[in-house]
Amino acid sequence: MKLREQKMIKETLEFLQPTPKYRELCILKELENNPKYSQKKIAEKVGLAPSMVNTYIKNISKRGFLKCTGENHKNMQYILTEKGQAWKIELLMKFLNETILLYKAGKNEFKQKLMIFINEGMKKVVLYGASDTCELVMNALGNLGIKILALVDSDPKIHGKVINGFVVKPPCAIEELKPDFVIITSLGCGEEIYSDISGLEKIGIRVRKL
């Protein structure tokens, strides 16, 4: 299996913003994976201005983490030194730790929303919308002792896909599963999905958006 290109966070974040340490890690990762990239290409990849990337690279080199080989612009390569590789691993491990912290905080936010439904009597639930949001909600529900009956999604392309041990089913499966609640695990299309399935309320299945 080929390692496909993995994006770090380039989108503009409104609530949590990347620090210089984060930028440094992104640049180190690019340098390690693509030694032939120009500074311009790296800037594009990490979402920074080329002048900024130049400042970072100078600083990284000064600390003995990077050496530059090749006589001219065309065959130039950036190579992480042994010290640079160790530093990258150290930063990455710290970042993974922080990722877990943020994951926990995110899960807690979802738990708080889910507690409202639990207080309404939710016990057996179908999740509508097989996405990353859905994974987080599944993990949060698991900790709260709620039975997940199934995942459904309107997109036929993902029917049959397995997420956390659940086969994604089409929405027409909901009635037969007899859940007491359906939670719409889509933050973007919640309204549309709600108007599609709110009719379930008539047969006693409560439909809730996150």
Positions in the binding site for its own copies (CB under 8 A): 1, 3, 6-9, 11, 13-19, 21-22, 25, 92-113, 115, 118-119, 131-133, 135-136, 138-139, 142, 144, 162-165, 187-188, 210
**DSSP structure string for 166-196:** EEEE-GGGHHHH--SEEEE--SSSHHHHHHH
CA torsion sign for 179, 183, 184, 190 is positive
Shortest distance, CB of residue 74 to its own copies, whole angstroms?
30
Q: Which is nearer to its own copies, 74 or 104 (CB)?
A: 104
The amino acid that residue 158 corresponds to is I
The vertex-156 CA angle with 122 and 5, nearest 5°, equals 95
Closer Cβ to its own copies, 68 or 158, answer by number: 158
Give the nearer residue to its own copies in terms of CB position, either 77 or 99.
99
CB 116 → its own copies: shortest distance, Å?
9
Q: In the bound complex, what is the minimum distance in angstroms from residue 131's beta carbon to its own copies?
A: 8
138 versus 182: smaller Cβ distance to its own copies = 138
Q: State the number of CA atoms in the 13 A half-sphere of 127 facing the CB.
A: 29
What SS3 state is found at 162? Answer: strand
CB count within 10 Å of CB 155 equals 12
Name the minimum Å distance from CB 171 to its own copies.
22
Tokens of 47: 């979402």
- Tell me the closest approach of the beta carbon of residue 197 to its own copies, in angstroms: 20
| Amino acid, res. 159 | H
Closest to its own copies by CB, 19 or 195: 19
